[in-house]
Amino acid sequence: MIVEMRRGATQAQIAGVVERAGSFGFQTQLNIGTDKVVVAILGSDTGRVPTDVFAVLPGVETVTRIMRPYKLASRDFKPDSTIVPIGSLSVGGPQVIVMAGPCSVESQEMLLRTAQHVVKHGATVVRGGAYKPRTSPFSFQGLGEEGLRILREVRAQLGVPIISEVTEVHQLAEMAESVDVLQIGARNMQNYPLLRAAGSTGRPIVLKRGLAATVTEWLQAADYILAAGNPNVILCERGIRTFEDSTRFTLDIASIGVIKRFSHLPVIVDPSHAAGHYALVPTLARAALAAGADGLIIEVHPDPVNALSDGLQSLTFSDFSRLMGELRAIAGAMGRTL
């Protein structure tokens, strides 16, 4: 249920709504907009309470039931688009953000070289996995703590924000020290303890869409992070499983429009994991920006032939610089900067 307060409603009137919700055992979350406050009434059984119990309270403008299964991620709760800060960058504003780097951190030398190259060509966040959720337990699992040390080192040298994936709750304390943005991977989109714990770090989080998740399930997963009091969620479309097998996953370009319509959260696109092949990455990256994505996360490797993970879908340095030129033109045509 969504309680929209009147313009100029007092703190006491807002507290009155929160208190009444509490008396029914419901939780609340406030959206303090530029000229109005909206109170979300949260509970699995808000249907048992008539809207009138809130509508009669002083300072209340309207009370609406949200029929969508996600609440905090919905535009009904927060009509204004969310802008997620990453240091001095803003995700969801006019600037398109490109995050780029290797699938896995393999050594300090390779991460540094890759980071220098992608930053020089316009990437503003560097990616690199230290903990890799691999489909086979016999595949390279990432350098773990050593990978985090390398990420810290490169961040200190270049002063660029870093994104890396967290796969288990116990990694969070060290991850939060080492990286600026936490990535929750497709395979963990419905790992609810991880969503809650990552949410409570307060760090910006890139939440990838599960391989077989609907947009609704994805936004419900975002609600777990938002309900932990962390508003800094960036959604990431990375393709879903379909019957089509000529790409690794089918990039659901339409989800960008769906998210923009029903949610206030920014959305970026990962063309690399969807494509599965370097030759297709530019096509998907260009389409994503034209469709209105707020950014991209792209795998780049100094020597894809010898990469320890995802070499086939990794761009070489020259592929990446060429693509950035094309993306700049598309961003411009969309009235954005890159």
The secondary structure of 22-57 as a DSSP string is HHTT-EEEEEE-SS-EEEEEE-TTGGGS-THHHHTS
Q: Which does 185 bind (CB under 5 to 8 A by kind): Mn ion, ligand PEP, none?
A: ligand PEP
| C-beta closer to ligand PEP: residue 68 or 187 | 187
Supply 307's token pair. Answer: 């990469």
The secondary structure of 240-292 as a DSSP string is B--S--SSSSB--THHHHHHHHHB-S-EEE-HHHHH-SGGGHHHHHHHHHHTT
Binding to ligand PEP, residues 234-293 (CB under 6 A): 238, 270, 273
Q: Among 310, 314, 327, 328, which residue interacts with Mn ion (rule: CB under 5 A)?
A: 310
Which window, 15-23, 58-66, 182-190, 327-335, contacts ligand PEP (CB under 6 A)?
182-190
| C-beta closer to Mn ion: residue 96 or 103 | 103
Supply 134's token pair. Answer: 């691999």
| C-beta closer to ligand PEP: residue 263 or 272 | 272
Q: Does 103 bind Mn ion (CB under 5 A)?
A: yes
**What gap in Å lies between CA 87 and CA 19, rounded to an integer?**
36
Which window, 83-91, 180-188, 283-291, 328-336, contacts ligand PEP (CB under 6 A)?
180-188
Supply 55's token pair. Answer: 């509508």
One-letter amino acid for residue 56 of the chain: V
Supply 214's token pair. Answer: 């609907």
Q: Does 186 bind ligand PEP (CB under 6 A)?
A: yes
Question: Which residue shows structure tokens 């990794």?
Answer: 314
| C-beta closer to ligand PEP: residue 133 or 311 | 133
Q: Does 208 bind ligand PEP (CB under 6 A)?
A: yes
Supply 61's token pair. Answer: 């403008």
Q: Does 103 bind ligand PEP (CB under 6 A)?
A: yes
One-letter amino acid for residue 139 of the chain: S
Min. distance of Cβ 293 from ligand PEP in angstroms?
15
The residue nearest Mn ion at its CB is: 103
Return the percent helix, strand and coil in the chain, to nearest 5: 40, 20, 40
> Which residues would be at the binding site for Mn ion (CB under 5 A)?
103, 310
Per CB under 6 A, residues contacting ligand PEP are: 103, 129, 133, 185-187, 208, 238, 270, 273
